[in-house]
Amino acid sequence: MNRAKGAIVDSSVGIQEITKWTEDMDERFLSAMIDESRIGNKVYRSWTTHAYHNMVHHLHQSGFGGVSKNNLKNRPKVLKERWCNVLTYFLH
């Protein structure tokens, strides 16, 4: 399991940590998103604060302790991009 973190130095901001996601992390995150959606913690296409708390907790229990709420807020952008690439591949 690769839970490596890297650091990028940006002189205007300081040090920014980067979490390297694995397929297992994505699977567990997607599962947590589905669970939170089913119990109604997604309102008007946005996740509630409670949903983010539950998803972070779920990932921490799964052994991914370095994941934060900000990581979860940004990850769907990457997942959507990958999904679009898959659809484009199969539709052409």
Q: pLDDT, tens digit, for every residue of 29-73?
A: 999 999 999 999 999 889 999 999 999 999 999 999 889 999 999
pTM for the structure as a whole:
0.73
Q: 90 vs 23, 30, 38, 43, CA distance in Å?
A: 21, 22, 29, 31
Residue 1 banded pLDDT, cuts 50, 70, 90? very low
Mean pLDDT, all residues of the chain: 84
Instruction: Please tell me the predicted confidence (pLDDT) of residue 16.
Output: 64
For residue 78, pLDDT beyond 70:
yes
User: How crowded is residue 68: how many other Cβ atoms within 10 Å of its Cβ?
Assistant: 15
- Picking from 22-31, 46-55, 75-84, which range would have the lowest pLDDT averaged per residue? 75-84
